[in-house]
């Protein structure tokens, strides 16, 4: 069917979720046998876009053409039949089933008459695919027992098994080390050479430069443009993605660095991270970055008492700190803005008022009895302080845009009197306007004397906001870089390099 | 970012106020009264109605904490066994010469401990659902009751104990007064205290509640312990009404209680529902049963009616969602 | 708007359910009680006699209630038949309350528990309702009179004599009872034990009392356990309808006819099979119809004052002729007569009756 | 039945987890543990009562366990999909009663037809529940709770309070449960047959595997285009059908149909599954485990009376065994996870 100029074309796609416009009139064209990078920051609408292509979501408006024919998928199976396969960012698999089944789920090989599953063939086929992808594990292993990278490979094998004409990869490299990424590049190119067209989603430039011939950029769920990769310069691309010059986006003001608040000494947790050491001081913004799954979030959750560490010590304001629960952590003055605000940060079914006051019920209750008047006043005052756009404090959190939801979560932090704020991906899935507002808020907080740990995978904001940056890889700190001379290359090197961790004074022993 | 004013007063629309599950229950309650008074001339008789409450309020005490449990998205099917165990222990002690007052206190203690054990197991073994844990303890608690009392039925309590289940204060059944008292207490606990607020938070999103510094485990244990305590209170009233106890009392109460809570509009998914709804449901089911009893509807027909009522009452919110969703599509 | 629609839907559906029940129980009460109790006014004039059985769906109980109903209708009054779905005292208490509200004249009850019903029944008596128990008694304080289907002593002794005769005077025997709390069974078992103390049973040995809880599966596995644990068991006495039938089934399936003897109290319909096949040479039961019938007349006698429930009172019980009240522990009772013996000769004519 | 257990276990091994993967091994080990426990228990009982391990008694145990184990298959599927079914006791009673009434009306009805009637009734019940759960998505525990009452009530209504007893049933009907083929009781054969079919279903058919998929990860089941609703519906229908079958067998075995047949039996069935290591969290559960669980319960029911354990202790003992079993499950699972973490080199 190659006579059509585009294997896949989408025109004016709009997808609306209750309260949010996830896709706003976006366009996309995919040529046969090309690798087309789709770029944009978190929350730009990339993931929704894929789900539209694969038939998980039906768009409210817009048309979709496959080899020139207009199609509309009622159901994921329709997309599969049409030869579209997706490798999702959050690996979607069946931990209790074998790798083979995960690969063939939805299109098992079955005997004609008896409709019996042909295990032997499936296992062999799966084994072959895995070998091609250079995987070392047996197809009969249970999925749950594999590492993220390994599961990533199974997902790709899945796409291969349906010999899909169009393969969509959603941030496949987000969790991979350099070698693993190289491996992935190789595989991807081979897929292309075998005639598949690939949509490669990422917000990492080297992915694009290494693989793609074309790049399309989304921002704030809008279509920004499509360029040949060698046509567009790096800064222009950043502007396209971020919406304005880095400099004007990050209002980083020099806060006066005060005394030390927090010090980690050889912190370790079996299976998650090992011998993590850094310190944080008043007024300082410490960036904590690295690949997804490098152990950043785990470290933060340990500081916040969500989970326990089994090695090393935390020193807080001079004496050793042992927090067993978030409640205690907040009592001593450590606050945490969780990574997933919908699951961890908010009660979506509640009004923003109740959400804001939840951590501070004590402040407006006496002997356990609530005082609604006081509560509402506090909620109102905080909601206005962080500039939430909402009609009243009774507006449901689920009805807010990502940015406003995030502001509500910030407001929750302001209810207690804290010294250390841990912000885990504070701008994830937030539109540019809200972003700059949040950055403003962060640097204000730093000036106000908070010590801030900012976890993020967004290079620009790390570089733009932080005084120092600690880079993690595979559960270890591989570098702590100072503000001057802070470059993407340096960070990426430290976070992806497979050579022995470039230890900054610490020994890479243990665990 | 320009400052915008955010209202902190709720704009009350009349429709919003009246379009609530609870009003529907009120309507139904009225419906039941109309229907019953047509069916039997004995129904609308103050004395009868008054005494009818004595008949169905004993299990209602468990409904109150069960609201909390189901709000948490959990379920406790061991309550009936706790009733049996605490009642049996009380009777046994009394018949071995322990003064009744003390026996009563011990009864309450036993119930509380049983509930606490449930809670503890559930938070310590999160991978086990509350259903399974309480299924096991349900069998165990009743098992202990059997071991203690074997084939005896134990009774012959002092006369004052009979007052709990049969006595009146100023012409009002004591059990009714007691229930009203506890209902008010639990209503305040759920709707007016930080504790209740935390329970709602956990029911809607346990993780977020935890990250907001709520000690989820502690709260869960307290809730299940409360269920134990109230089961013991039910044990007191039930035993008093029966004048004697045996290991197999209160069989199947857990199901009736859960049915009442669900009919009361408390969502089994957790986080949604109010105390008042459950309380209305108690009287709705109670008077419905009583009325049908007055016209001697056969037991099996009652079973069917109750079953259908339960199904319909949970089906409706679901259907509403479906329709709403279909509309959006 | 959506919401309104939802609520509207809700109301419609639930009301539908309720009215449905309304409709049902009209039709139903017709079947349950003779004459519609819902038919206000005049029903005050007509005397009402109620009976509460242990639990619904038990043919023996249906027969007892039927007998009661027959008697009451012979007398031209209205009979109300009730039975809870589970055999529990709680449920019976609720029903007693309902009957008190209906201002019935008399209330006959087959107790699920001797003591647990006392408060409720006392309340009924205070409300001027005549209370009597039949079949399985409630304690003396909570009744005016008990209708005894047969003298427990006679039952106990007859059953032992029967099994001993079957096994030829010597060997191990066991008892398969109902639930461990069943008042009647426990009483009868005591009498069996007393009878066995008699020296002439020197070489008859009662090895175990097992409880089948009147559940089929449990009774079966208990019987099997008996046969396993006591290989030279000669006879089984099962004074409960479910138990004896289950035992008969097991003996049949294991082809132990003649090797292990079986007797007890069983429904002819249930036992016909095994009596004809000889698994159980004979067994006993009284006629539940008569038990109910007698209770009906006793209730009437109490209501119109011919008897007060005191020892020595006499009354005529329709076709059963005159009956006298005798002492029973600290209460009083009327005895229906001796248990009836069913064997191959007469089972055929009874198996379709009850 | 035992051999059915073992070879289906073997086959399942062939099915998917014949890998070196640790968790798989521990899962196997778990069943061995259960088996070991059964053996120890049997030996213990044997010492107390030599007539326990006689061929006759073993076949008794098998016969009495057959119905339980048949129901357990259905319940396993239900639980794997993260559901539960409390209504099976009532369904069993209803279908048993209906088929009994049918044969008492038409004594010369072919037994297979009688079975058909029972299964049919059960199937209908199952379909209704399936509809409530999958389409109106009512929480399974609530839906089945309500329908339990309804079915139980209907049983009483249809029977009109009567029992159907031995002499009303034709020999051919009673023979369903009592008859035997070369010395093995029909019930056992039927159970074995069901297990073989079930084994084929869960490990060799697409639908069977998707039952696991749904339980293992509903969200991605949606994404990979599995029609979750239909499969749920199917699972509850199967459960209903099996309950119907069990109903007929029950009535034929005890030659009597009552209104209160098998009330509370659902708990034993759930217990069998839980003992067999079916995870309430969904996605996990093997026939080999379930059958062991059923056998363990069967042995308990048979053994406790035989070693003169006071009947009043039996509740407590069974409850404790269930609790211990689930706790051990949980701990083993934690062990697996910890090991997986250890293996991650950091």
pLDDT tens sequence across B206-264: 999 999 999 999 999 999 999 999 999 999 999 999 888 888 888 889 888 998 999 89
Supply C188's token pair: 């009868």
Residue A244 pLDDT class (50, 70, 90 cuts) = low
Q: Please give the structure tokens belonging to residue C300.
A: 């009437």
How many Cβ atoms sit within 10 Å of the Cβ of residue B194?
A: 18
Q: What percent of chain D has pLDDT over 90?
A: 40
Tell me, yes or no, whether C354 lies in a domain.
no
Q: Which two tokens stand for residue B242?
A: 């029966």
- Residue C26: per-residue pLDDT: 40
Integer Cα distance of B188 and B192 in angstroms: 5
Pairing of strands C130-134, C145-148: parallel
Give yes or no for residue D167 having a pLDDT over 70.
Answer: yes
What would the mean pLDDT of D330-334 be, rounded to a whole number? 81
CA atoms within a 13 Å half-sphere pointing along the CA-CB vector of B235: 34
Of B45-49, C106-110, C169-173, which range is least confident? B45-49
Q: Which of A426-435, B100-109, B289-298, C189-198 is the least confident region?
A: A426-435
Q: Say if A144 is an interface residue toward chain D (CB within 8 Å).
A: yes
Alpha-carbon span A364 to B178, nearest angstrom: 31
The residue of chain D with its CA nearest to that of B76 is D141
User: Which residues of D fall within a CB distance of 8 Å from C245?
Assistant: 165-166, 255-256
For residue A198, pLDDT beyond 70: yes
Same domain, C195 and C249: yes
CA distances from D227 to A76, A84, A106, D193 (A): 10, 19, 10, 28
The pLDDT-based confidence of D6 (bands split at 50, 70, 90) is: very low
Our CA-based measurement puts residue C307 at a distance from the nearest CA of chain D, in whole angstroms, of: 34
Q: What is the pLDDT of residues A105-142, one digit of tens each?
A: 878 888 887 788 888 999 999 999 888 877 788 898 88
Q: How confident is the model at residue B204, as a pLDDT? A: 93
What is the model's pLDDT at position D120?
A: 96
**Predicted pLDDT of residue A339:** 87
Please indicate, yes or no, whether residues A143 and A58 belong to a single structural domain of this protein: yes
pLDDT of B45 above 80: yes
Q: What integer is the mean pLDDT of D34-52?
A: 88
Which comes out higher in pLDDT, residue C69 or A75?
C69
User: Mean pLDDT throughout D100-128?
Assistant: 93
Give mean pLDDT, residues B72-81: 94
Mean pLDDT of A407-432: 88
Can you give the pLDDT at residue D192?
94
Of A361, D5, D49, D26, nearest to B195 by C-alpha is A361
| CB burial of residue A281 (10 Å; 0-12, 13-18, 19+) | middle
Give the residue with greater pLDDT, B151 vs D8. Answer: B151
CATH topology of domain D2-12+55-334: ABC transporter involved in vitamin B12 uptake, BtuC (1.10.3470)
Q: What are A142's strand-pairing partners?
A: A98
As a whole number of angstroms, the distance between CA D315 and CA D237 comes to 31
Domain boundary among C252, C268, C285: C285
Q: B147: Cβ–Cβ under 8 A, 6 or more apart, which residues?
A: D310, D312, D313, D316
Smallest CA–CA distance from D131 into chain B, residue: B315
Q: Phi and psi (nearest 5°) for A8?
A: -140, 135
Residues in D 47-66 with any Cβ partner in A closer than 8 A: none
The predicted pLDDT at position C45 comes to: 62
How many C-beta neighbours within 10 Å does residue C197 have?
7
Contact D319 B136 (CB under 8 A): yes
Say if the Cβ atoms of A387 and B1 lie within 8 Å. yes
Query: What is the phi/psi pair of residue C28, to 5°?
Result: -70, -45
Q: Given a cut of 80, is residue A282 above it in pLDDT?
A: yes
Hey, is the C-beta of B324 within 8 angstroms of any chain D C-beta? no
Residues of chain D found within 8 Å of residue B136, distances taken between Cβ atoms: 319, 322-323, 326
Helix, strand or coil for residue A293?
coil
- Give the domain extent around B136: 53-313
Assigned domain for A1 exists? no
SS3 content of chain B, % helix, strand, coil (to 5): 75, 5, 25
Quote the domain boundaries for residue A228: 8-244
How, if at all, do strands A35-39 and A84-87 pair?
unpaired
Give the pLDDT band of residue C3 (cuts 50, 70, 90).
Answer: very low
Task: For residue D316, give the nearest of B75, B143, B311 by CB distance.
Answer: B143
What number is the average pLDDT over the span C184-200?
Answer: 89
User: Is A101 an 8 Å CB contact of chain D?
Assistant: yes
Q: Does B262 touch chain D (CB under 8 A)?
A: yes
Residue A490 scores a pLDDT above 90:
no
Please, which pLDDT band fits residue C262 given cuts at 50, 70 and 90?
very high
Hey, are the CB atoms on A384 and B5 less than 8 Å from each other? yes
Residue B185 lies in a domain: yes
| Strand ranges for A35-93 from DSSP E | 35-39, 61-66, 69-71, 84-87
Probe site for chain B from D312, D313, D325, D327 (most B CB atoms < 10 A): D312
Q: What is the pLDDT of residue D27?
A: 56
Task: Tell which wins on pLDDT, D311 or C82.
Answer: C82
- What does the mean pLDDT of chain A come to? 84
Structural domains counted in chain C: 2
The angle formed by the CA atoms of residues B98, B104 and B108, to the nearest 5 degrees, is 130
d(CA D99, CA B125): 44
Chain A environment of D205 (Cβ under 8 Å): 110, 115-117
For β-strands A468-473 and A476-482, DSSP reports them as antiparallel
- Going by C-beta distance under 8 Å and a sequence separation of 6 or more, which residues neighbour residue A172? A87, A152, A156, A184, A200, A202
Provide the pLDDT for residue B5: 62
Q: Say which residue the tokens 């080990």 belong to.
A: D29
- Determine the average pLDDT of the residues in C115-120: 89
For residue D137, the model assigns a pLDDT of 83
**Closest-CA residue of chain D to A81:** D225
| Predicted pLDDT of residue A221 | 84
pLDDT band of residue B177 (cuts 50, 70, 90) is very high
- Return d(Cα B97, Cα B99) in angstroms, integer: 6
- Decide if C76 touches D, using CB distance below 8 A: no
Q: pLDDT band for position C82 (50/70/90)?
A: very high
Whether residue D274 contacts residue D325, with contact meaning beta carbons closer than 8 Å, is answered with yes
* B39, B294, B327 member nearest C2 (Cβ): B327
CA distance A324 to A344: 18
Q: Is the pLDDT of residue C35 over 80?
A: no
Q: Between chains, do D216 and A96 touch, taking CB under 8 Å as contact?
A: yes
pLDDT at A452 over 90: yes
CATH number of the domain where residue C169 is located:
3.40.50.2300
- Closest chain A residue to B199 measured between Cα atoms? A358
Dmax over CA atoms of chain D, in Å, equals 74
Of C10, C90, C101, the CB nearest to B316: C10
- Identify whether B45 is part of a domain: no
Give the distance, in angstroms, between the CA of residue C214 and the centroid of all CA atoms in the same chain.
Answer: 13
CA C309-C315-C318 angle, 5° bins = 130
* pLDDT at residue C14 in the model: 53
pLDDT beyond 70 at C112: yes
Strands C106-109 and C130-134: parallel
Cβ distance B300 to D318 less than 8 Å, yes or no, reads no
pLDDT mean over B46-62: 89
Q: What is the pLDDT of residue D12?
A: 36
Average pLDDT, chain C: 83
Identify whether residues C235 and C185 lie together within a single domain: yes
Lowest mean pLDDT among A200-209, B94-103, C155-164, D170-179: A200-209
Closest C-alpha to C215, from C188, C176, C189: C176
Q: Which residues of A touch D224 (CB under 8 A)?
A: 76, 92, 105-106
Domain residues for the domain of C312 are 44-149+288-337
**In this complex, does chain D touch chain A, defined as having at least 3 beta-carbon pairs under 8 Å apart?**
yes
pLDDT tens readout for residues A137-168: 889 888 877 877 788 788 888 888 887 889 99
Q: Do chains A and C touch (3 or more CB pairs under 8 A)?
A: no
- Partner-chain residue, chosen from A88, A140, A274, that has the shortest CB–CB distance to D19: A140
Q: What is the mean pLDDT of residues D281-307?
A: 88
The domain spanning residue A448 has which CATH number?
A: 3.40.50.300
- pLDDT per residue over D135-157, tens digit each? 888 889 889 989 999 999 999 98
Asked if the Cβ–Cβ distance from D150 to B304 is below 8 Å, we say yes
C228 interaction partners in chain D (CB closer than 8 Å): 49, 51-52, 54, 57, 306
User: Does the distance separating the beta carbons of D161 and C62 come in below 8 Å?
Assistant: yes
Binary contact (D326, B132; C-beta < 8 A): yes
Query: How many structural domains are present in chain B?
Result: 1
Helices B275-294/C2-32 angle, 10° precision: 30
Q: Look at residue A509 in the predicted model and tell me its pLDDT.
A: 35
Count the neighbouring beta carbons within 10 Å of the beta carbon of residue C287: 20
Alpha-carbon distance of A144 to A149, in angstroms, equals 12
Q: Residue B16 has what pLDDT?
A: 63
Q: Give the residue-averaged pLDDT of C22-42.
A: 39
Look at D330 and B133 and tell me if their CB atoms are within 8 Å: no
Read off the pLDDT of each residue in D225-236 and give the average, rounded to a whole number. Answer: 91
Percent of chain A with pLDDT over 90: 23
Across the range D324-336, mean pLDDT stands at 82
The pLDDT mean for chain D works out to 85
**Confidence band (pLDDT; 50, 70, 90) for B15?**
low
Q: Which has more confidence, C175 or C27?
A: C175
* Residue contact A325–B205, C-beta within 8 A: no
For residue B48, list chain C residues with Cβ-Cβ distance below 8 A: 101
**Secondary structure (DSSP) of D232-289:** HHHHHHHHHHHHHHHHHHHHHHHTEE-TTTTTTHHHHHHHHHHHTT--TTSS---HHH
State residue B274's pLDDT score.
92
Indicate if the pLDDT at residue C28 is higher than 50: no
pLDDT per position as a tens digit, D192-214: 999 999 999 998 898 999 999 99
Average confidence (pLDDT) over C11-21? 51
CB contact under 8 Å between D255 and C211, yes or no, is: no
Residues forming a β-bridge with D137? none
Distance in angstroms (rounded) separating the CA atoms of residues C253 and A104 = 51
Instruction: Name A454's bridge partners.
Output: A287, A423
> Half-sphere exposure of D15 toward its Cβ, with a 13 Å CA cutoff?
24
- Looking at the 3D structure of chain A, how many domains does it have? 3
Q: Rounded mean pLDDT of A474-490?
A: 86
Indicate whether C207 and C159 sit together in one domain. yes
CB-CB under 8 Å, A117 with D346? no
Q: Are residues A256 and A355 in the same domain?
A: no
Question: Mean of the pLDDT values across residues C309-324?
Answer: 86
Indicate whether C307 and C191 sit together in one domain.
no
pLDDT in the model for residue C135: 86
Residue D18, chain A, CB below 8 Å: the answer is yes
Beta bridge partners of A20: A17
Residues D230-237 have a mean pLDDT of 96
Longest dimension (CA), chain C: 87
Judge if A422 and A402 occupy the same domain: no
For residue A409, being part of any structural domain is answered with: yes
d(CA C307, CA C316): 11
- Between A355 and D325, residue with greater pLDDT: A355
pLDDT of B328 reads: 56
Predicted local distance difference test score (pLDDT) of residue D219: 82
Chain C hits for B288, CB-CB cut-off 8 Å, are 18, 21
Angle, CA D72 vertex, CA D67 and CA D73 arms, to 5°: 105
Please state the rounded mean pLDDT for residues C63-73: 92
* Cβ neighbours of D327 in B, within 8 Å: 125, 128
Give yes or no: residues A404 and A430 share one domain.
no
Beta-carbon pairs below 8 A across chains A and D:
113
Q: Which of B140, B258, B308 sits opposite D319 (nearest CB)?
A: B140
Q: State which residue of chain C sits closest to B265, comparing Cα positions.
A: C10
pLDDT at D20 (0 to 100): 42
Question: Do A315 and A448 fall within a single domain?
Answer: yes
To the nearest whole Å, the CA of D46 is away from the closest chain A CA by 39
Which pLDDT belongs to residue A90?
A: 63
CB A295 within 8 Å of CB B183: no
């Amino acid at each position: 069917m190659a006579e059509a100029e585009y294997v896949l074309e989408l025109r004016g796609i709009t997808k609306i979720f209750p309260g949010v416009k996830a896709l706003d009139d976006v366009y996309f064209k995919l040529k046969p046998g090309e690798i087309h990078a789709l770029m944009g920051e978190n929350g730009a609408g990339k993931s929704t876009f894929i789900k539209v292509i694969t038939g998980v979501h039906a768009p409210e408006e817009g048309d979709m053409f496959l080899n020139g024919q207009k199609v509309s998928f009622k159901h994921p199976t329709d997309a599969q039949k049409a030869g579209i396969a997706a490798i999702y960012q959050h690996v979607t698999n069946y931990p209790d089933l074998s790798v083979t089944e995960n690969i063939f789920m939805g299109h098992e090989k079955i005997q004609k008459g008896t409709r019996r599953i042909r295990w032997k063939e499936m296992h062999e086929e799966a084994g072959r695919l895995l070998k091609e992808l250079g995987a070392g594990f047996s197809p009969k292993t249970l999925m749950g027992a594999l590492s993220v990278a390994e599961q990533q490979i199974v997902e790709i094998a899945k796409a291969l098994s349906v010999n899909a004409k169009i393969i969509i990869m959603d941030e496949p490299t987000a969790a991979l080390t350099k070698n693993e990424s190289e491996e992935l590049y190789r595989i991807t190119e081979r897929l292309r050479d075998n005639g598949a067209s690939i949509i490669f989603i990422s917000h990492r430039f080297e992915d694009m430069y290494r693989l793609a011939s074309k790049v399309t950029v989304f921002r704030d769920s809008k279509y920004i443009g499509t360029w040949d990769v060698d046509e567009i310069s790096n800064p222009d691309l950043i502007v396209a993605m971020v919406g304005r010059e880095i400099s004007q986006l990050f209002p980083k003001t020099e806060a006066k660095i005060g005394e030390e608040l927090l010090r980690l000494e050889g912190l370790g947790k079996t299976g998650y991270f090992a011998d993590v050491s850094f310190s944080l001081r008043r007024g300082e913004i410490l960036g904590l970055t690295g690949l997804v799954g490098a152990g950043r979030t785990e470290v933060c959750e340990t500081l916040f008492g969500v989970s326990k560490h089994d090695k090393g010590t935390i020193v807080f304001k001079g004496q050793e700190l042992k927090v067993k629960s978030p409640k205690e952590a907040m009592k001593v003055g450590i606050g945490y803005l969780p990574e997933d605000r919908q699951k961890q940060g908010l009660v979506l079914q509640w009004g923003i008022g109740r959400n804001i006051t939840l951590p501070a019920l004590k402040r407006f209750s006496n002997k356990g009895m609530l005082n609604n008047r006081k509560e509402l006043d506090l909620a109102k005052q905080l909601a206005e302080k962080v500039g939430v756009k909402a009609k009243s404090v009774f507006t449901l959190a689920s009805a807010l845009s990502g940015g406003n939801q995030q502001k509500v979560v910030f407001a929750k932090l302001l209810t207690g009197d804290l010294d250390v704020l841990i912000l885990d991906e504070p701008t994830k899935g937030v539109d540019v306007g809200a972003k700059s507002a949040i950055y403003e808020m962060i640097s204000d907080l730093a000036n106000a004397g908070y010590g801030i740990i900012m976890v993020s995978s967004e290079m620009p904001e790390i570089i733009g906001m932080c005084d120092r940056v600690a880079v993690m890889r595979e559960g270890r700190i591989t570098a702590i870089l100072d503000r001057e001379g802070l470059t993407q290359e340096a960070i990426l090197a430290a976070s992806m390099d497979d050579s022995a961790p470039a230890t900054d004074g610490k020994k890479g022993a243990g665990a | 970012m320009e400052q915008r004013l955010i209202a902190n007063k709720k704009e009350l629309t009349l429709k919003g106020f009246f379009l609530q599950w609870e009003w529907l229950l009120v309507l139904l309650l009225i419906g039941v009264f109309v229907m019953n008074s047509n069916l039997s001339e004995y129904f609308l008789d103050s004395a009868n109605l008054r005494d009818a409450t004595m008949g169905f309020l004993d299990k209602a005490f468990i409904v109150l904490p069960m609201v909390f449990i189901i709000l948490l998205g959990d379920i406790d099917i061991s309550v009936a066994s706790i009733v049996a165990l605490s009642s049996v222990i009380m009777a046994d002690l009394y018949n071995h010469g322990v003064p009744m007052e003390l026996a009563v206190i011990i009864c309450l203690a036993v119930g509380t401990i049983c509930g606490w054990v449930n809670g503890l197991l559930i938070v310590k073994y999160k991978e086990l659902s509350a259903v399974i844990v309480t299924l096991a303890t349900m069998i165990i608690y009743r098992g202990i009751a059997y071991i203690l009392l074997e084939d005896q039925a134990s009774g012959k309590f002092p006369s004052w104990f009979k007052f709990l289940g049969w006595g009146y204060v100023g012409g009002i059944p004591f059990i009714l007064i007691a229930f009203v008292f506890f209902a008010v207490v639990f209503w305040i606990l759920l709707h007016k205290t930080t504790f209740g607020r935390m329970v709602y938070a956990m029911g809607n999103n346990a993780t977020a509640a935890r990250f907001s510094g709520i000690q989820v485990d502690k709260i869960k244990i307290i809730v299940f312990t409360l269920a134990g305590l109230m089961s013991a209170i039910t044990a007191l009233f039930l035993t008093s009404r029966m004048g004697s106890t045996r290991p197999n009392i209160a069989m199947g109460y857990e199901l009736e209680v859960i049915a009442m809570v669900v009919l009361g509009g408390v969502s089994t998914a957790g986080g949604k529902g109010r105390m008042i709804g459950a309380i209305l449901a108690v009287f709705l089911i109670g008077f419905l049963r009583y009325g049908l009893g007055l016209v001697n509807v056969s037991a099996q027909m009652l079973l069917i009616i109750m079953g259908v009522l339960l199904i319909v009452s949970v089906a409706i919110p679901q259907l509403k969602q479906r329709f709403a969703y279909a509309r959006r599509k | 708007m959506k919401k309104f629609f939802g609520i509207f839907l809700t109301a419609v559906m639930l009301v539908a359910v309720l009215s449905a029940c309304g409709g049902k129980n009209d039709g139903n009460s017709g079947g349950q009680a003779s004459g519609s109790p819902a038919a206000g006014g005049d029903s005050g004039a007509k005397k009402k006699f109620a009976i509460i059985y242990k639990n619904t769906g038990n043919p023996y109980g249906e027969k007892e209630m039927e007998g009661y109903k027959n008697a009451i209708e012979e007398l031209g009054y209205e009979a109300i038949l009730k039975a809870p779905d589970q055999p529990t005292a709680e449920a019976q208490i609720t029903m007693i309350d309902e009957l008190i509200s209906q201002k019935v004249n008399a209330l006959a009850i087959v107790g699920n528990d001797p003591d647990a019903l006392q408060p409720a029944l006392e309340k009924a008596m205070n409300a001027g309702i005549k209370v009597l128990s039949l079949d399985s008694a409630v304690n003396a304080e909570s009744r005016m009179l008990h209708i005894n289907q047969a003298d427990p002593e006679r039952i106990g002794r007859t059953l032992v004599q029967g099994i001993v005769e079957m096994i030829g005077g010597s060997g191990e025997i066991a008892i398969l009872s109902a639930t461990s709390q069943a008042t009647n069974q426990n009483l009868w078992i005591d009498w069996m034990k007393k009878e066995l103390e008699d020296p002439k049973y020197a070489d008859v040995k009662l090895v175990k009392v097992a409880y089948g809880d009147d559940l089929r599966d449990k009774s079966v596995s208990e019987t099997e356990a008996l046969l396993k644990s006591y290989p030279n068991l000669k006879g089984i006495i099962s004074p409960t309808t479910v138990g004896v039938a289950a035992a008969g089934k097991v003996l049949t399936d294991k082809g132990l006819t003649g090797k292990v003897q079986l007797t007890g109290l069983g429904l002819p319909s249930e036992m016909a099979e095994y009596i004809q096949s000889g698994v159980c040479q004979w067994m006993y039961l009284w006629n539940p119809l008569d038990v109910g019938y007698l209770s009906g007349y006793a209730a009437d006698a109490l209501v119109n004052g011919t008897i007060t429930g005191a020892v020595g009172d006499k009354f005529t019980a329709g076709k059963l002729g005159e009956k006298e009240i005798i002492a029973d522990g600290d209460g009083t009772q009327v005895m229906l007569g001796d248990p009836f013996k069913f064997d191959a000769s007469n089972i055929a004519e009874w198996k379709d009756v009850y | 039945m035992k051999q059915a257990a073992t070879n289906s276990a073997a086959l399942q091994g062939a099915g998917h987890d014949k890998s070196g993967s640790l968790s798989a091994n521990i899962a196997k080990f778990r069943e061995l543990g259960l088996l070991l426990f059964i053996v120890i228990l049997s030996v213990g009982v044997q010492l107390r009562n030599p007539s326990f391990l006689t061929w006759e008694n073993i076949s008794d145990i098998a016969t009495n366990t057959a119905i339980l184990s048949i129901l357990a298959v259905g319940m396993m599927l239900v639980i794997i999909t993260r559901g539960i079914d409390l209504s099976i006791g009532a369904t069993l009673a209803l279908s048993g009663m209906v088929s009994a009434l049918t044969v008492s009306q038409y004594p010369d009805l072919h037994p297979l037809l009688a079975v058909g009637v029972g299964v049919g009734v059960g199937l209908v019940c199952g379909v209704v529940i399936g509809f409530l759960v999958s389409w109106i998505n009512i929480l399974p525990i609530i839906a089945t709770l309500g329908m339990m009452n309804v079915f139980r009530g209907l049983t009483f209504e249809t029977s009109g309070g009567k029992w159907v007893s031995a002499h009303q049933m034709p020999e051919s009907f009673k023979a369903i449960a009592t008859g035997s083929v070369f010395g093995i009781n029909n019930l056992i054969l039927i159970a074995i047959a069901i297990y073989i079919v079930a084994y084929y279903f869960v490990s060799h058919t697409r639908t069977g595997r998707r039952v696991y998929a749904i339980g293992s990860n509903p969200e991605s089941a949606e994404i990979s285009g599995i029609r979750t609703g239909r499969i749920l519906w199917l699972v509850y229908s199967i459960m209903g059908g099996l309950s119907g079958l069990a109903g007929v067998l029950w009535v034929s075995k005890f030659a009597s149909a009552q209104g209160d047949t098998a009330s509370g039996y659902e708990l034993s069935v759930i217990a069998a599954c839980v003992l067999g290591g079916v995870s309430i969290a969904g996605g996990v559960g093997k026939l080999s485990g379930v059958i062991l669980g059923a056998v363990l319960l069967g042995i308990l029911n048979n053994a406790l009376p035989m070693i003169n354990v006071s009947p009043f202790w039996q509740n407590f003992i069974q409850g404790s065994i269930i609790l211990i079993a689930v706790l051990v499950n949980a701990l083993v699972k934690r062990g697996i996870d910890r090991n997986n973490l250890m293996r991650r080199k950091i």
